[in-house]
């Protein structure tokens, strides 16, 4: 039934208006609308709703990620806008915070939005 239905993704925030500024200005996403409950963005054809939920606790696990052709170039662009990438002790990331899948195939890095939601970039080889 849902095979051909367009997906909508949700990221929870205590203040969608404040979060929208970061998603627009730092990540460069296109904001398409806002309402009393959420700021709405276009994610290459998928809808992202930054939804206000009071008392929300951000997940330590990735809630949203992007496939990028050049992870290090994408990281450099985000670093220039103040994004800090996360290094998890014992996880085996390199000095730039990039984790490489054993045997190759993918490189991944993680960072948080201002509310602590975990986001990622992935480059597949």
For residue 79, the tally of other CB atoms under 10 A from its CB is 13
CATH topology assigned to domain 1-57: 2,3-Dihydroxybiphenyl 1,2-Dioxygenase; domain 1 (3.10.180)
pLDDT tens digits for 48-92?
A: 999 999 999 998 899 999 999 999 999 999 999 999 999 999 999
What pLDDT is attached to residue 15?
95
Contact 19, 10 (CB under 8 A): no
Asked if the domains 1-57 and 58-125 are classified in one and the same CATH topology, the answer is: yes
3-state secondary structure the chain: CCCCCCCEEEEEECCHHHHHHHHHHCCCCEEEEECCCEEEEEECCEEEEEEECCCCCCCCCEEEEEECCCHHHHHHHHHCCCCCECCCCCCCCCCCCCEECCCCCEEEEEEECCCCCEEEEEEEC
Q: Where are the domains of the chain?
A: 1-57, 58-125
pLDDT tens digits for 7-52?
A: 999 999 999 999 999 999 999 999 999 999 999 999 999 999 999 9
Whether domain 58-125 has CATH 3.10.180.10: the reply is yes
pTM across the whole model: 0.93
Contact 122, 65 (CB under 8 A): yes
* Distance separating alpha carbons of residues 33 and 86, to the nearest angstrom: 31
What pLDDT is attached to residue 119?
97
- Is the sign of the CA dihedral 54, 8, 34, 58 positive or negative? positive
């Amino acid at each position: 039934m849902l095979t051909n239905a367009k997906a909508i993704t949700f990221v929870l925030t205590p203040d969608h208006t404040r979060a929208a500024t970061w998603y627009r200005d730092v990540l460069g996403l296109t904001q398409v609308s806002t309402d009393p409950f959420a700021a709405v963005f276009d994610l290459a054809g998928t809808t992202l709703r930054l939804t206000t939920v009071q008392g929300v606790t951000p997940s330590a696990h990735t809630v949203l990620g992007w496939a990028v052709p050049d992870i290090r170039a994408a990281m450099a662009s985000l670093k220039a806008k103040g994004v800090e990438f996360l290094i998890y002790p014992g996880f085996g990331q390199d000095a730039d915070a990039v984790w490489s899948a054993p045997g190759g195939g993918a490189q991944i890095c993680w960072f948080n939005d201002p509310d602590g939601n975990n986001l990622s970039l992935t480059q597949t080889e």
